[in-house]
């Protein structure tokens, strides 16, 4: 597999994305949107340099860069890229380029800090602010062929990293020591090192490599697993627990390539696991396999969640499915793309229906206090026939000789 690093989306790709957002803006009565958040800026302009992208309800966008202008010009295929010294200049610059002041201005209100919201409301006096974040996320939820091709590469690299773990896994190593070794290998393959999340206060460093009872320690993150971590400030991830024989080692890692994410979980052990953990793992595989054919275009994400929960109940794992604490998470999968928490969410009450071209991570897991975590996570492409797994690495527990 030949990888091209540091690539950017071509102009035709950017124009298609912008055109979809403009259609959604017109339906909502938004006359222009100011894109500020780095991930959205990268999605629509193929650069993350500091600046603002103005997307009118029709016509060409204008990319305004504060830092670094020359780099942004090289990175972005958009035709109109200019240098700007202050956001206060934006209304005047828009007027100079023939853009009327928008009566309704779209802003990414789900991620925009309050102070910046008030700043832009003051700069755009006379414009009524409106939230355009849902429209952006819906556009981003359905991936193009260009995006799917990159995600396929990211999943192949997830498989490659997982295949390296048995060479490094040994009793007596601490979780964080093993994590450092496997993360270094991932970095050598082109992992970007940062995993972006949209939810306020959420962050992730590569993923979770957790072992035995430590894997079942709950935490604040919107995830079925947390782990002890190395500090109370982080409160998640690998800690200083030593890996032992005959316990599940959870390898729940993200590979991020050109911004695009593969979410991937496998279970390893040194020596056989107790029968109850093996049965729990098989139950999670059953839930995944049944869901692969049920989750088709037109099926609501909330219905998929309810189906998976009911299967866990049938198998006798309600108490452990997707967490064992009182505040266990209420989702069983999520969209992935440039961020780890994209639409759709396979969660309680969600109405968004699957569409062909969506990419979702399906993650049925059993969290058993005092013993550990078993289960699976794969990145899937939504197709007319159901979910296509992009991974080729075995879903079964990898048992190493003692």
Q: 323-346: per-residue pLDDT in tens?
A: 998 889 999 999 999 999 999 999
Give which of 49, 338, 53 is closest to 194, Cα–Cα.
338
**Is the domain covering 142-400 a CATH 3.10.105.10 domain?**
no
Start-end ranges of CATH 3.90.230.10 in the chain?
A: 142-400
Non-local (6+) Cβ contacts of 344 within 8 A are: 141, 301, 334, 335, 350, 352, 353, 354, 358, 360
- List the chain residues with pLDDT less than 70: 1-6
Residue 354 contacts residue 139 (beta carbons within 8 Å): no
- Which runs of consecutive H residues, i.e. helices, occur in 51-202? 69-75, 90-96, 114-123, 133-141, 145-168, 175-188
Which CATH superfamily groups domain 11-140? Creatinase/prolidase N-terminal domain (3.40.350.10)
What gap in Å lies between CA 181 and CA 76, rounded to an integer? 35
Asked if the bond preceding 144 is cis, omega within 30° of 0, the reply is: no
Q: Tokens for 51? A: 């600046």
Per residue in 25-34, pLDDT (tens digit) is 999 999 999 9
Residues listed for the chain: 402
pTM attached to this predicted model: 0.96
pLDDT of residue 3: 46
pLDDT of residue 7: 72
Q: How far apart are the first and last CA of the chain?
A: 34
Q: Which residue reads 């192949």 in tokens?
A: 156
pLDDT of residue 8: 85
What's the whole-number average pLDDT of the chain?
Answer: 96
pLDDT of residue 6: 63
Q: What is the CA radius of gyration of the chain?
A: 22
Residue 209 contacts residue 178 (beta carbons within 8 Å): yes
Beta strand residue intervals within 18-149, DSSP E = 32-35, 50-56, 62-67, 81-83, 104-107, 128-131
Non-local (6+) Cβ contacts of 194 within 8 A are: 256
Start-end ranges of CATH 3.40.350.10 in the chain?
A: 11-140
């Amino acid at each position: 597999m030949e990888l091209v690093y540091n690539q950017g989306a071509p102009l035709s790709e950017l124009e298609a994305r912008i055109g979809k957002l403009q259609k959604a803006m017109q339906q909502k009565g938004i006359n222009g949107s100011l894109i500020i958040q780095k991930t959205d800026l990268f999605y629509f302009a193929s650069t993350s340099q500091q600046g603002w992208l103005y997307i009118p309800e029709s016509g060409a966008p204008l990319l305004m860069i504060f830092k670094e202008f020359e780099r942004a010009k090289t990175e972005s295929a958009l035709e109109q890229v200019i240098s700007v010294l202050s956001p206060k200049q934006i209304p005047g610059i828009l007027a100079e380029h023939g853009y009327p002041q928008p009566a309704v201005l779209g802003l990414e209100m789900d991620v925009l800090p309050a102070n910046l919201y008030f700043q832009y409301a003051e700069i755009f006096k006379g414009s009524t602010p409106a939230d355009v974040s849902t429209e952006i996320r819906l556009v981003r939820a359905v991936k193009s062929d260009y995006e799917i091709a990159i995600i396929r590469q990211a999943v192949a690299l997830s498989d490659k990293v997982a295949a390296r773990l048995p060479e490094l896994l040994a009793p007596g190593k601490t979780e964080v020591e093993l994590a450092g070794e496997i993360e270094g290998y991932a970095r050598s393959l082109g992992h970007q090192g940062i995993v972006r999340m949209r939810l306020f206060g959420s962050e992730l460093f590569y993923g979770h490599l957790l072992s035995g009872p430590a894997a079942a320690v709950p935490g604040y993150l919107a995830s079925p697993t947390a782990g002890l971590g190395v500090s109370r400030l982080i409160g998640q991830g690998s800690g200083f627990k030593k890996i032992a024989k005959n316990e599940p080692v959870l390898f729940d890692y993200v590979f991020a390539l050109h911004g695009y994410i593969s979410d991937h979980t496998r279970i390893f052990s040194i020596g056989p696991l107790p029968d109850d953990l093996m049965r729990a793992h098989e139950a999670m595989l059953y839930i995944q396999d049944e869901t692969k054919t049920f989750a088709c275009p037109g099926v609501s994400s909330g219905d998929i969640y309810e189906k998976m929960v009911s299967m866990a109940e049938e198998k006798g794992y309600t108490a452990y499915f997707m967490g064992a604490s009182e505040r266990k998470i209420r989702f069983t999968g999520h969209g992935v793309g440039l961020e780890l928490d994209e639409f759709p969410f396979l969660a309680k009450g969600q109405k968004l229906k699957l569409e062909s071209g969506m990419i979702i991570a399906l993650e049925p897991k059993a969290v058993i206090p005092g013993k550990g975590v078993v289960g699976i996570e794969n990145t899937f492409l939504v197709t007319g026939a159901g979910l296509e797994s992009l991974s080729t690495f075995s879903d079964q527990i990898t048992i190493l000789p003692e």
